[in-house]
Amino acid sequence: MTASALTRPGQRERLPSKLGEIDWRLAGLTAIIACVGAMMLYSVAGGSWEPWAAKHLFRFAACFLLMLLLSLVDLRVWMSLAYPVYAVALILLICVELFGYTAMGATRWLNLGFTRIQPSEIMKVAIVLGLARYYHAASARDARFSFKLLIPVAMIAMPVLLVAHQPDLGTAMLIALTGLAVMFMAGLSWKVIIAGVAAVAAAIPPFVLFVLHDYQRERILTFLDPEKDPSGSGYHIMQSLIAMGSGGLLGKGYGLGTQSQLNFLPEKHTDFIFATVAEEFGFVGSFTVLVVFGLIIATSLRIASLSHSHFGRLAAAGVTATFALYVLINGAMVMGLAPVVGVPMPMLSYGGTVMVTVMIGFGLIQSVRVHRYMELPKGRGLF
C-alpha cells in the first residue's frame, strides 16, 4: 500500500487501512505492562493464577479488544458525543450525590440493579472529551485568557466538587489536574498559570486544616513522617519502603519477595503492586517498568502532536495527561513521596474499573492516530 493509495477518496475509511494505522507499538507497550502486572499478581498470590492473575489477563484482553474497537470509531463521532458523554457523566455524579451506594464511609457507586458503576471513573474520560470539544471551537485568544475561560473552569469545577464531596479526594484531584492539563495544552496564558499556582499554594494550608476529613489529614501527616507511627497509618508507606529498599539492585527474585509473599505489604495486588515489582526485580526491574511507562507517554504525546484536528490533539494529550498523572501519583505514593491517596498504577494494578477507563482512553488516542489527517469543522453546536 503506497502513500498515494491512501489519498484516494474513501480509501482511509476501509477497515484494513484503519487497522494498519493503529499504533501497534503503543498497543504492544500497554500489553507489556499488563503482562508484567499479571506476572506480579501470579507471584503475590503465592504462584497461583487465582485469584488475580488470570482475571487480570482476561480483563486486559477484553479491554484490548474494546480499545481496538474504539480506535476504529470515527473522530467525528467522538466529537459529536463529547458533550453528551460529559453531560451524562455529570448527571450520574449528581445521582450518586442524591442516592448513591455507600461503602466504607464513602458514596461512590450507583446501583443499577445488575451492577454497580462508579461515575467518577466515567468522568475521567468525559472531562477530557468535553474540554477538547470546547477548545476545538474556541479561538486561541479565548483559550489564552478571556472571560470565556469561566466555561471550562465550570466544566472542571462541577465534577471535581461532586467527587470531592463523596468523598474521593484522589479521583477529584485527578479530574482537576486532567482538566487543568487540557486547559494548559489549549494554550492558557502563563500569567494565569502562575497566578493560579500561587493561589493554590496559598490555599493549601487552610484547606488542610479546615476542609479535610480527619482521616485525610492523618494520611498527609503520616506521609510527612511515616516512621513516627509505623504500626498505625504509617504502616502502608513503611512496609512499601521496606519492600522496595530491601529489593536492592537486582531484587529478591521472582516469587521470593518476603514483604509481599508474607502479607506485610498491604494492598500488594492493587495500589502497591509497583513495590512488589521493585522488591522482586530490584532497581533494574522497577526502572525498566518506569521506562516503559515513559515510552507510552511519549508515544501518546507524539500521536497528539501529529493530529490535524484541535479536538484530536487535545483529546489525546488530555488522556495522556491522565495516564501520566496516574503513574506519577502512584509512583510517588508507593515511594513515600506523596500521601496514600488510593490511585492505582494503570494496567499494572489489579482492578477492573481503572483498566476499563485507561483502555477507553487508549482507544481514543488510537482513534486520534487513525484519523490524524481528518479535518474537523469548528462546529459551535452541541453535537
Partner 1 sequence: MSGPSIFFEDVNERQGGFLRRTFLLGGFSVLGLTALSVRLAYLQTLQTSRYRSMSAENQFNLRLIPPPRGVIRDRNGVVLAGNRPSFRLLVIRDETKDLDTTLDEVAQLLPATAPRRRSLLREINQSPRFVPVAVATDLTWEEFARVNLHAPQMPGVMADVNEARFYPFGGAFAHVIGYVAKVSDRDIERIRKAGKDPDPILHHPGYRIGKQGIERSMDEQLRGTPGVQRVEVDAGGRQVGEDAENTTAPKPGSDVVLTLDADVQNRALEVFGEESGAAVVMDVRNGDVLCMMSAPAFDANLFVGGVPSKTYKLLSEYERKPLLDKALSGLFPPGSTFKMATALAILAAGINPKERVTCTGGYHFGGRTFRCWRAGGHGSMDMHNALKNSCDTYFYAMSNRASVDRIASAARALGFQSSFSERDFGNQKKGLVPDTAWKRKTFARDPEWHAGETLSVAIGQGALQVNALQLAVMAARIANGRKAVQPRLVRSIGGRAEPSGAAAPDLPFSQEHLDIVRAGMAAVANDVGGTAYRASQLGLGDILMAGKTGTAQVRDYKDGQSRKAAEWKRKDHGLFVAFAPHDAPRYAMAIIVEHGVGGALAAAPRGREIMRTALLKDPDMRARIERPLPDLGAPSGAPSGGEPDVYQPTGPAPTDEAAARIGGPVEEPR
Rounded to 5 degrees, what angle do the CA atoms 220, 226, 228 make? 110
Q: Is 37 near partner 1 (CB under 8 A)?
A: no
Nearer to partner 1 by C-beta: 96 or 181?
181
Q: Is 48 near partner 1 (CB under 8 A)?
A: no
| Ordered DSSP codes for 17-86 | HHHHHS-HHHHHHHHHHHHHHHHHHHHHTTS-STTTHHHHHHHHHHHHHHHHHHHTS-HHHHHHHHHHHH
Closest CA to 52 of 260, 220, 201: 260
Nearer to partner 1 by C-beta: 175 or 185?
185
Q: Is 184 near partner 1 (CB under 8 A)?
A: yes
Calculate the dihedral angle through the C-alpha atoms of 13, 124, 26, 3, rounding to the nearest 10 degrees: 30
120 with 170: CB under 8 angstroms? no
Nearer to partner 1 by C-beta: 144 or 217?
144
Please compute, for residue 168, the number of CA atoms within 13 A of its CA located in the half-sphere on the CB side: 26
- Which of the residues 125 through 154 are near partner 1 (CB under 8 A)? 139-140, 143
Which member of 293, 326, 350, 362 binds partner 1 (CB under 8 A)? Answer: 293
Which member of 11, 48, 146, 263 binds partner 1 (CB under 8 A)? Answer: 263
172 with 163: CB under 8 angstroms? yes
* Rounded least distance, CB 368 to partner 1, Å: 13
Which residue is associated with the grid cell 455507600? 102
Which member of 337, 352, 382, 383 binds partner 1 (CB under 8 A)? Answer: 337
> Which amino acid belongs to residue 126?
A
Question: If you count them, how many residues does the chain have?
Answer: 383
From the list 65-73, 172-180, 209-217, 234-242, the region that binds partner 1 by CB under 8 A is: 234-242
Dihedral sign for Cα atoms in the order 80, 85, 86, 90: positive
Q: Is 290 near partner 1 (CB under 8 A)?
A: yes
Nearer to partner 1 by C-beta: 107 or 299?
299
Which member of 126, 186, 237, 315 binds partner 1 (CB under 8 A)? Answer: 186
Q: From the CA atom positions of the chain, what is the Rg in Å?
A: 21
Q: Is 278 near partner 1 (CB under 8 A)?
A: yes
> Which amino acid belongs to residue 199?
A
Cα–Cα distance measured from residue 36 to residue 44, given in angstroms and rounded to the nearest whole number: 12
Nearer to partner 1 by C-beta: 121 or 142?
142
Other residues' Cβ atoms within 10 Å of the Cβ of residue 110: 18
Closest CA to 170 of 58, 8, 377, 326: 326
Q: Is 294 near partner 1 (CB under 8 A)?
A: yes
Q: What is the total count of residues that contact partner 1 (CB under 8 A)?
A: 54
Nearer to partner 1 by C-beta: 304 or 354?
304
Cα–Cα distance measured from residue 137 to residue 85, given in angstroms and rounded to the nearest whole number: 17
From the list 80-88, 100-108, 326-334, 345-353, the region that binds partner 1 by CB under 8 A is: 326-334
Q: Is 108 near partner 1 (CB under 8 A)?
A: no
Peptide bond into 167 cis (omega under 30): yes
From the list 82-90, 160-168, 283-291, 354-362, the region that binds partner 1 by CB under 8 A is: 283-291
Q: Is 301 near partner 1 (CB under 8 A)?
A: yes
User: What would the grid cell of residue 190 be?
Assistant: 502563563
User: What would the grid cell of residue 22 be?
Assistant: 493503529
Which member of 53, 127, 163, 314 binds partner 1 (CB under 8 A)? Answer: 314
Would you tell me which residues interact with partner 1 (CB under 8 A)? Answer: 139-140, 143, 181, 184-187, 239, 241-249, 258-259, 261-264, 278, 282-283, 286-287, 290, 293-294, 297-298, 301, 304-305, 310, 313-314, 317, 320-321, 324, 327-328, 331-332, 335, 337, 375, 377-379
